[in-house]
Structure 1
Amino acid sequence: MLSLSTLALMSAGVLLVLFLWAIAIYNKLVRYRQQAAEGWSGIDVQLKRRANLIPNLVETVKGYASHEKSTLEAVTESRARCADAVRGPVPERGAAEGLLSQALVGLFAVVEDYPDLKADESFLGLQKSLSEIEDNIQMARRYYNGTVRILNIAVESFPDVLVARQFHFERADYFQIEDSQDRLVPGVSL
């Protein structure tokens, strides 16, 4: 039979183990949350680079295709919406950025009608920069969404969920394509 002091020591040991376990889970959740924040920061940097490039792109196109006013206005308005959504939640920002991407697609469709513009070195440089930025945005989105997945799994999995609820860790939102048309596979005709 165990003495009272032995039971007290065992109880203290169990409490110590539980306390250390909770600290380990808490620290893991903090690390995951910080990785998601870092991932979002990467997206934000690339989106700002794109937003800063757009006025130059619009001005270059405007010089050649000034009568394409509605297309140029759509790009400018979409850029303004993105600027307004900067401090908003991730889904709202994703929707605004999706509209900007659609407006840019429309802009490049207009450019096809202007051979002189397509050959302009300034425009070609801007187009190349935009293409590189879009690739960087895609990589940043993948990294961010991967860190969000890890965080969300931890926040919802047992036993981590016990610590997550206690310290108000919440699921993070994925940065997703909002336009269902963007998800369609383009048709190829040969």
Structure 2
Amino acid sequence: MHGPSRLASLRTLASLLLVTLLSGCGINNIPSYDEQVKSAWAQVENQYQRRADLVPNLVETVKGYARQEQETLTAVIEARAKATSIQVDANTLDDPAKLRQFEQAQDQLSGALSRLMVVVERYPDLKSNQNFLALQSQLEGTENRIAVARRDFIAAVQRYNTEIRTFPGRIWHTLMYSDMPIRETFEATSENAEQAPQVQF
């Protein structure tokens, strides 16, 4: 093998070796973990939306038996409206103020639903209504799924943040991904917020 062709072969071999070394040293971890954070957040949003979708039917069912509880029903409707009006997507996930607003609105809806469930205790006919029982079961399941989705999101954020704060991720973050910030996690903003609200009777 002579001059130019040998040099080209060596360059090709060096390039392949470099690509192999880089792929094994975590250069892709940061964007991969970032995508996992975004995917985990999408699941959080999905579960909160599922809960929001249950609220109108729940309110209508309760209203049929407990019209005099208008104040409580109105509080649930208003809390749902606020919770669904604040959207945090992949583009705004890095905004701590927006994330806090979202969390607080969801907590307000959780509180309003808890108060509604206390009111239901006064209405035995409502408590035995099949439609209400089905909605109650769906709500309980959704609250559990919300708790799981939030836990998975927190774990994904922790993995991502750890990667960009430790070696060798810190180096790759400085050299290639400096525009990707430390991410905020989903903080509990009310007492016992990490636990799914109790909606069973």
How would you bin the TM-score normalised by the shorter chain? 0.7 to 0.9
Q: How does 1:131-146 map to 2 (within 5 A)?
A: 131-146=140-155
Q: 1:102 aligns with which of 97, 103, 111?
A: 111
Q: 2:138 aligns with which of 125, 129, 134?
A: 129
CA drift of 1:176 comes to 2.5
Change (3 A) 1:181 1:142: closer
C-alpha RMSD of matched pairs (Å): 2.5
Is the aligned partner of 1:175 residue 2:175?
A: no
Letter in 2 for 1:113: R
Q: Which residue of 2 aligns with 1:161?
A: 170
CA drift of 1:90 comes to 2.6
Change (3 A) 1:74 1:165: farther
Change (3 A) 1:26 1:81: farther
TM-score w.r.t. structure 1 length?
A: 0.80
Q: Which residue of 1 aligns with 2:122?
A: 113
Distance 1:161 1:29 in 2: 9
Distance 1:91 1:47 in 2: 15
Deviations 1:43-101 (A, max 9, x none): 11111111101000011111111111111111111111111212363322111111110
Distance 2:83 2:27 in 1: 34
Whichever structure has more helix as a proportion of its residues is 1
- Structure 2: stretches of 5+ with no match in the other structure: 1-9, 93-97, 196-201
- Structure 1: stretches of 5+ with no match in the other structure: 1-8, 185-190
Distance 1:31 1:104 in 2: 37
